[in-house]
Amino acid sequence: QFKLFRILSAHPPGTTYKLTLHNSADDSTLKTNIHTHGLHITGSGDGDDITRFVTGGGCLDYTWDIPSDHPGGTNWYHPHYHTLTNGQTAGGAFGMIIIDDDYSKVHAWAHPQNELLLLVSDIGNSVLGNGITNEVFQVEVGRWYRLRVSTVEPNANTAALSFNGGDCTVHKVASDGIWHNAALTTYSGSSFDMTGASRADYAISCASVGSTTVKWGSGEVATIEAGTFGSNTGSEETDLGNAPPKPASLTGLNDASVDGTFSITMSGAKINRKMWDEDVPLGVVPYGGIYEWTIGGTGAHPYHQHLYHMLIVEPGGCGFHQEGEFYDILSASGSCRVRFYAIDIGQRMVLHCHVLGHEDNGAMTWMDVTGTPSSNQNNVVAPAYQCSGGTPPPPTTTLHLHHPLLLLRLPSTIPSSYYGYPSTIPSSYCY
């Protein structure tokens, strides 16, 4: 079962979320873990460390420290234990994570009451929207909505998310959990390429009654029905406004002097001719620097890096990745120059091919972010343990939207004993 977690960023202070991953497999030797795309959290200790695991019947605790200036955005999660990532993700172990914006800094169309959520999965012979063959959204004519999309395809193949028919205007306003730097009406159209591990936010408004079919590649995943339904959703604003300000980790990179350069070459089982070794890094990245890397081979081997989003600085961009925008996954022909700021967090920074079978075969490595201040480190290596009573308690306050999609909204402040299981969350936080 996959779930959607909604995290309310506090402004300020930041919020620490404590989650427990329960491996409910009957096989006591089957290992799993969890990795997030888009969360600016540590890759070490009990944070987002992919070398940790829990076997069948056990529980594993995680701590996610969401800083007060964390960008609001659309993100996702999946298992990431080496050699088992492809099979478990293809089996449906994934979901969407939303970090809420500071809504005082974005216009009403982008607020939660005006959003549409679409989790696209392309696994085997089935292309689904929110776990069903054709999700349906009803929108009021003439109003603006925020469509959040996450695409999941184990080979991370690039396909077009297209809007077919109807009378709708669509602007792409964010990629991989980060609002665009360009004006919100810059990237407009009816078709937008995304990899099978991408996320994107769209501003959409339909001018007249009608139906728009949303496709991922050739597969129909949703229908947007525009009409006069009498709902109070959507915004009648004529000005979409501006993106909210970015944190220091995502500003000033384009004009900064770089502190180092590096080249990455992707292949089906190796990165820079080396296979995965969790004990030996590919190199070091000194904490606090701005780095420019040239990454090649991503057309057949989409590149994903943990911890830090990448700013595209290649003139003219790289394929559908726009120059001047941030991404955490890259797939383009030829080589691409990117920059990132190694700040806030450090220690283990994982890089890999997002064709998950290639990753499992060894196309993964890591950089050691050295000099990370002790106050920014996470060295809490909490071991897996037997769940209390064998299993977590059954859920009692959940609402299934479309099985198996489960949507949870987490409060902005939670007790330190919180466990990420539905029965522990007050019903007011589920919808």
pLDDT at 3 over 60: no
Cβ atoms of 216 and 120 within 8 Å: the answer is yes
Tokens encoding 55? 């076997």
* CA Rg value for the chain: 21
**Who wins on pLDDT, 2 or 428?**
2
Whether cis (ω within 30° of 0) applies to the bond prior to 415 is no
**Mean pLDDT, rounded, for 80-104:** 91
Average pLDDT, whole number, for the chain? 86
- Mind listing the pLDDT tens digit for each residue in 289-344? 999 999 999 999 999 999 999 999 999 999 999 999 999 999 999 999 999 999 99
- Using CB atoms within 10 A of its CB, is residue 375 exposed (0-12), middle (13-18) or buried (19+)? exposed
Whole-angstrom distance between the N-terminal and C-terminal Cα of the chain?
Answer: 17
Residue 238 has, within 13 A of its CA and on its CB side, a CA count of 0
Q: Which pLDDT value is given to residue 156? A: 87
pLDDT at 127 over 50: yes
For residue 61, count other CB atoms closer than 10 A to its CB.
18
Interacting residues of 323 by C-beta distance below 8 A, sequence separation 6+: 312, 313, 314, 315, 316, 317
Reference 19, options 342, 425, 390; nearest CA is: 425
Q: How confident is the model at residue 388 (pLDDT cuts 50, 70, 90)?
A: confident
**pTM > 0.85: yes or no:** yes
Q: Which pLDDT value is given to residue 409? A: 32
Beta bridge partners of 261: 292
Reference 385, options 148, 107, 12, 57; nearest CA is: 57
CA angle 205, 152, 66 (to 5 degrees): 80
**Domains of the chain, first to last:** 2-103+381-429 (2.60.40.420), 104-227 (2.60.40.420), 248-376 (2.60.40.420)
Q: Which pLDDT value is given to residue 421? A: 28
% pLDDT > 90, the chain: 71
Backbone phi, then psi, for 376, in 5-degree steps?
-105, 5
371: left (phi over 0), alpha (psi -120 to 50) or beta: left
Interacting residues of 37 by C-beta distance below 8 A, sequence separation 6+: 75, 76, 77, 78, 176, 177, 197, 199, 304, 328, 329
- Mind listing the pLDDT tens digit for each residue in 218-269? 999 999 999 999 999 999 999 999 999 999 999 999 999 999 999 999 998 9
Q: Which pLDDT value is given to residue 24? A: 85
Amino acid at 233: T
Would strands 115-123 and 126-129 be described as parallel, antiparallel, or unpaired?
antiparallel
Q: Which pLDDT value is given to residue 406? A: 31
Q: How confident is the model at residue 385 (pLDDT cuts 50, 70, 90)?
A: confident
Whether cis (ω within 30° of 0) applies to the bond prior to 404 is yes
- Mind listing the pLDDT tens digit for each residue in 179-231? 999 999 999 999 999 999 999 999 999 999 999 999 999 999 999 999 999 99
Q: Which pLDDT value is given to residue 412? A: 31
Q: How confident is the model at residue 39 (pLDDT cuts 50, 70, 90)?
A: very high
**Who wins on pLDDT, 144 or 103?**
144
Q: Which pLDDT value is given to residue 8? A: 54
Cβ atoms of 10 and 413 within 8 Å: the answer is yes
Secondary structure class of 88 (helix, strand, coil): helix
Sole residue written with tokens 């919100």: 184
